[in-house]
Amino acid sequence: MSAQGALVFARYAYPPNELGYCGPPDASALLRPEAAAGIERRARQFEGAWCYLEFLAESAGLPDPLDVRVVEAYWIGNELLEQVDPAALLDRLLERFRGQTGGTWREAGRRARAHHSFQVFDVYPWTRLLRAGGNPSALSVLDQCRIRTGVVLHVDGESATVESRPLRLEGDAVVTGPLRQEVVRWSTGGRSLIGGLTPGDQVALHWDWVCDILTEEQRARVEALEERQRGEVASLAPWPLPGGPGR
């Protein structure tokens, strides 16, 4: 098992785990990078993310789902994504998420990607709910659940003010809006998974948490993959809600 891969996984998985949205109880265990074996055991209990990590590793011929290249591919994006057969990925998802309704993933075809943006915009029901009724809560969840990028403006203790672009709805399309400032955390109770922040750092954000400091190439990958996923979803006809009328 890659200790570095386990650390990167924890950086991105901690925020939704702390909020109780996914993964096992006691999210603080992810803030112990010295306990890589414990992080691996916990990672296997993230039903959604672990499915993609396993499939990415298999597609790349790598024995470890927590290989740092695999973890980076899922959360940020890299060349491993191009080795994944979308049809085979959908077959795996149909097996793993049998009974889960609400998203568009069953009909995704070649839109399917082993990347977090696909999980957020296609597998989760929020995009469909948003387009079916303009649900503002759905837009907020999409905005926070995706991996979004930002630039650190200043740091105040365990918090930082960053500049980022929120999502907004334009017709049936979910797009990024003008820059806004938001206050997020990078540490809690003296524990963090990054060494610190400096104004000007380009960062990855998940919910109200700074996951990572990004290179320019990583920032571009995150933004390009999300924009592509949002664009493909926007090209679909408006969907009716299950059991309800369409728009």
User: What span, in angstroms and rounded, lies between the C-alpha atoms of 90 and 106?
Assistant: 7
Say how far residue 138 (Cα) sits from the centre of its chain: 16
**Per-residue pLDDT reduced to its tens digit, 47-94:** 899 999 999 999 999 999 999 999 999 999 999 999 999 999 999 998
pLDDT at 7: 95
First-to-last C-alpha distance (Å) of the chain: 48
pLDDT at 39: 92
How would you class 15 by CB atoms within 10 Å of its CB: exposed for 0-12, middle for 13-18, buried for 19 or more? buried
Helix (H) or strand (E) run with residue 163 in it = strand 159-164
128: Cβ contacts below 8 Å, ≥ 6 apart: 102, 103, 104, 239, 241
Per the structure block, which two tokens stand in for 53? Answer: 């990590």
**Per-residue pLDDT reduced to its tens digit, 233-245:** 777 655 444 433 2
Which has more pLDDT, 244 or 134?
134
User: What span, in angstroms and rounded, lies between the C-alpha atoms of 178 and 195?
Assistant: 29
User: Which residue matches tokens 């750092």?
Assistant: 201
